[in-house]
Structure 1
């Protein structure tokens, strides 16, 4: 499943645009991590959609991105009223990340449901707060069948399926297959051994990761890598398989260089271009 080839002379639009929507006043950095990872996975353009009160510092921190300030709640979370703006912006992107750095709650659930109902076009990576909303909007998510990736860890998977976490841990592959079938999406179930499962039940496992990857922000970088590959034209399954492997390999290289624990999630994206260059197709 080779990644799309990019020819000499292609402009940035040929590698697609990524829109990352998420974060909150307490966790603004998740969007930065995902956005930088998307660019270093090869996306051509980046937009970050965040609470209006943090838009300027986010733009200064990521000068490569266009930043969109969204309506926010008194608690500093993206308001459900922002859904129409996100749907409009998302329609112009090739891939969209939703949920990184957001918290579960009624506002997040309403935002996710309204956006999934209105959005047309991009491939989706749904993470963190967006996952918690999916139980109540399965019909809306099914509109995006064939172009969505879900990225739960075991706790989020238990909430998605409304089963005990112990049941997920007892048979994570079965849980991932159930979620992929129920939500008609590729599922990347994160863990020491990550499972990648299609709605048809095809399954892969990757144990490339290490203990150092179990660190704050690591999942945000994975979401960004997935979106960057989707923007380049990879299918959800291609993006999931390549993204999980590359994320794990980045952790392996940092562990060899820095030590098994203590490297930071912000260091992972910098490893991605060299890994892809070594493994991917030559470019014209």
Structure 2
């Protein structure tokens, strides 16, 4: 019987790392572009950084900023409340409620926001007076539309009602993301539809609702600049009034951009905090730049 051959000792593997010359080329190109950008920002006198610093915290700019924040908060409040109501109507077994909500969403999502702002601002041309009373009967209270629908009210109606259409779809998607077994289990425990929605469905749906709502809030902050078409005094309007007098257009636009960037950064941090708050109880795994949500214990 032949003697078994002795195994040869394994040789160490000489691994050659894969080279990625394209990455280094991209890094060099980006570095050159960044250097060119910094150079033009620092050397181009047209930016007028002294003018930017002078107006960054000026009273007109801060007043416009205050109005922008007020419009953002109130319009988002109207949009969220209206969106929740419309989403519930869309999911209702009543075909009338479903159709009305669908028609509302179709109209407000299908027309430009700037056109809606103009419509509410000039509502008096269509209805000089607005009244409350018996339908097709006597009116108990009559309002002058020009006095009732002020510029501020037109801004809130345009921004808030438009946002409600988008929030309705966001909320509806969040509610549909909750497993139907949760609703069935709540019904088996004797909970009403309202109790099930408030205590079971909404808390779980918030993980899906919060991220796009944060994006909508940031979008609303910037959309408030559209009220310039009806002359309401907000951040961009205040800058326009200033540069229409001193002709420093670019520096004033840079001031506006700085404030918008600062506010969106704050909102982004707040959004991340709220996402963590409602994301508790879900298994989160990060792979690269993406996030995957697994099945986790529910509260």
Higher strand share: 1
Range class of TM-score, shorter chain = under 0.3
In terms of fraction of residues, the more helix-rich structure is 2
Larger Rg: 2
TM-score by length of 2: 0.24
